[in-house]
Amino acid sequence: MLPLDTKAKLTNWGHAPLLKVADLAEMAVGRFPFERMALDLRSIGQKSAATAELVGLPWAGFIANQDAQLPSGRPGVVLDDRAGIVRPGDVIELQPLRSRVLVRYRRGDASNVLFATEQCNSYCMMCSQPPHDVDDAWRIEQMCELVKLIDADTPSLAISGGEPTLLGAGLNRVIGHCADRLPATPLHVLTNGRRFSAHGYAATFEAAHPALSWGVPLYGDHFCLHDYVVQSSGAFAETIKGLYALHQAGQRIEIRVVLVKPTVERLQELVRYLYRNLPFVEHVALMGIEPTGFAKAHYDDIWIDPADMADALEAAVEFLAARSMAVSLFNLPLCALSRSLWPFARQSISNWKRDYLPPCEGCLVRERCAGFFSWTTDAWTSRAIRTITHHEEGVSCEKH
C-alpha cells in the first residue's frame, strides 16, 4: 500500500494550492507554468545543480527532505516522506492547517480519481464512502484545476463520489475540461444512474468526451432487491430508465455488481436479466465488498464468503461469457476463486489501498492477484485464503 498523504512542514503559503511536483526534466519539457509547479529539490542529485538562477525562477514553491534547506523567504514544503509518497510528476494539495500534503494525482497510476462530491441520493448497505449532506460545489473548480496539471498521456481517469450527477451541469463542465485537456485518456464515471431518468439529461453528454464511459451498479433483477440493497425506494426504476437513456445517448456502459449476500442469492437471475434486457452494456464487473463505511454496520446482512459463492460465480461468469458479454471479477483474491475463474480476475484494488496477508508471502500468483483492501479484518477474510505454491498449466489472469 502506498498512501495518498504524508506529514509536512509548510511555510510561507498564503493559500492551499494544487501543485505539480517538478524535477529538472519536468521543467525542460515546459508543459506547465512555473507558477503551478513546486521544484522537488530532492530530485537534484548535486547541490551545485540548485543554482541561484534555477532557484530564482518563478516557482510556486519548493519541496525538500527534513535535512535540506529551503530557499529563504520562498514557499516551501518539508516532507516526512520516507516511503516516497510524493514523486515528480504527481499533483499535490497542500493543507497547511493540518500540516499534511495530499497526492491528488499520481503519475503513471491506473487508479487516479477525481472526487466529485460527498452527496448521494442512495444509501447502499455496503457503501464505502457514506454520503454527507454538504454543499461541496467548490469541488467542481478544484477538479478543473486538477485536470490542468494531469499528464496528457495518463492511462486512465475516473470520476467518483458520492453521486457525481448531483453536480448537475458541473459534471458536464468537468468532463468537458477533461475532453479539452485529456482527450486520449479513458474517462470512467461511477454513478448510480438514477438522475439519467430525468428527461434530456443523458443527452447532454453526447460527444462530451472521446473516451467516456459510465459504471452503473445493479444489485437485483427486480425492484424489491435492488431498492433494498441501495436503501432507496424507486431506485431500480430510475436506474433502469437511466440506463436506457444513456444507451439512447450513445454512451458506453459498464454494469457493476457488488457481491453482497442477497444479490449472490439471485445472481443467476440477475445475469439473465442483464442479457435479456441490457444487452448493450459493454462490460459486467462482479465485485467483492470493500469492508469499510456502511458495510461494517451491515456485516450480518451482506457478507458471504467467496468460498460459498463459488458455484454462483462460476455459473454467472459462464453464462455471460458464453453469450459474448465481457465479464470480470474485481476485488477477489485468486486463491478464493476456482481456477476456471482466474482468467476473469482483475488486479482491481487501487495500490494506495491494496495490501496482502501473511499467506501471500511466497505465493506464486501474488503479483497478479487483486490482494485485499488494507482495512480487511479476519471477519471479512475468506476461509479459502492460502498460498499458491505451484503453477497450474494453461491458467492465466490479467491486470485491469
Is the whole model's pTM more than 0.85, yes or no? yes
CATH 3.20.20.70 is right for the domain spanning 113-380: yes
Of 394, 392, 337, 340, the closest CA to residue 369 belongs to 337
The CATH number of domain 5-105, selected from 3.80.10, 3.50.30, 3.30.450, 3.30.300: 3.50.30
Mean pLDDT score, 369-382: 97
- Give strand pairing partners of 188: 158, 213
Q: Mean pLDDT score of the chain, rounded to an integer?
A: 94
pLDDT of residue 397: 47
Q: What confidence tier does 241 reach under pLDDT thresholds 50, 70, 90? A: very high
**In Å, how far from its chain's centre is CA 61?**
29
Mean pLDDT score, 204-233: 98
CA distance 72 to 35: 18
Query: In terms of DSSP H, where are the helices of 117-222?
Result: 138-148, 169-181
Report the relative pairing of strands 327-330 and 354-355 from DSSP bridges: unpaired
Q: Where are the domains of the chain?
A: 5-105, 113-380
Mean pLDDT score, 119-143: 96
The pLDDT tens digits for 291-325 are: 999 999 999 999 999 999 999 999 999 999 999 99
Q: Is the pLDDT of residue 257 over 60?
A: yes
Cell numbers that stand for 265 in this block: 442469492
Phi, psi of 84 (to 5 degrees): 70, 40
For the beta sheet containing 187-190, the strands, ordered from the edge strand earlier in sequence to the opposite edge, are: 113-115, 157-160, 187-190, 212-217, 252-258, 283-287, 327-330
The pLDDT tens digits for 150-185 are: 999 999 999 999 999 999 999 999 999 999 999 999
Percentage of the chain lying above the pLDDT 90 cut: 87
Mean pLDDT score, 26-39: 94
Q: Is the pLDDT of residue 67 over 50?
A: yes
Q: What confidence tier does 391 reach under pLDDT thresholds 50, 70, 90? A: low
**In Å, how far from its chain's centre is CA 10?**
28
The pLDDT tens digits for 311-365 are: 999 999 999 999 999 999 999 999 999 999 999 999 999 989 999 999 999 999 9
